[in-house]
Structure 1
């Protein structure tokens, strides 16, 4: 099954399920769905940062300071966070990510999803999926901040990052 065929829950403005459609149709029609964002840090507290591959359906070749993705139909945010973090980092046996908060991302032009933000400590050697991640590294927080104005970041991840900064302060 391709990523475009994966079935997603469609949700309303209150995050209640109102239908189910394949991911490709969800993206094509701009239907609101659910996503998870997990900020992964290594043992030294550095943030996992990566550049998405050009083949990604959404935001190809852009940088991101979160791992994550869509929540499958019938899947909980918590289960999706662990699944996505392990898949994108290329590890197994990761501790369950800690839930921080949820927000509705909406760019006003057809991209809208409920976004649950998590954090996790990853002390395992990472092996990101080459079909998902073109480049990666663990960067100190001050370098991530410096790169905000230099690199082109995924807009939803940038929104989550700013909300996470406000949440922590």
Structure 2
């Protein structure tokens, strides 16, 4: 497996236009704006795939998240990154994320392209990425958000998702 810190990313501006490239370690160290995808995955009962990140993650090690996803590689589209990240983290093939909305997470800074997907089969989460997982109802997730340390960008993305859901 390639060292994640050496992964080449597109660096973008405030309008999400590519202005250069740098390796992930430098992007994080210098606080350069880049691109990420977030996929909210639901099972047939409407429960949300929720997981705890491994302690070896470069960003937010050990924190919980209700999205699968990650950085968009240099030259990669948001849509292809959403499929790649969802399939890698869940250990599945054939997932079809549906685009929802995009926003700039200023505290990152990074552009977050939001998706939702349904999955009705077993999952085999990537051990390098996922330390624990379960399918939580929206009520269970709302409770855990008050009890557990969630990644800040995922917390903000979920807040926006709930706010915009009636229009989606």
Normalised by the size of structure 2, how large is the TM-score? 0.96
Deviations along 1:75-103, whole A, 9 cap, x unmatched? 00000000000001011122x20000000
Give the aligned CA root-mean-square deviation in angstroms.
0.7
Deviations along 1:108-145, whole A, 9 cap, x unmatched? xxx20000000000112100011100000001111001
Residues 12-161 of structure 1: matches in 2 within 5 Å?
A: 12-94=13-95, 96-107=96-107, 111-161=108-158
Other structure's SS at 1:79 match: helix
Q: 2 CA distance for matches of 1:143 and 1:122?
A: 19
Q: 1 CA distance for matches of 2:34 and 2:139?
A: 32
Equivalent residue for 1:2? 3
How many equivalent pairs are there? 165
Structure 1 runs, 4 residues or longer, greater than 2 Å off: none
Normalised by the size of structure 1, how large is the TM-score? 0.96
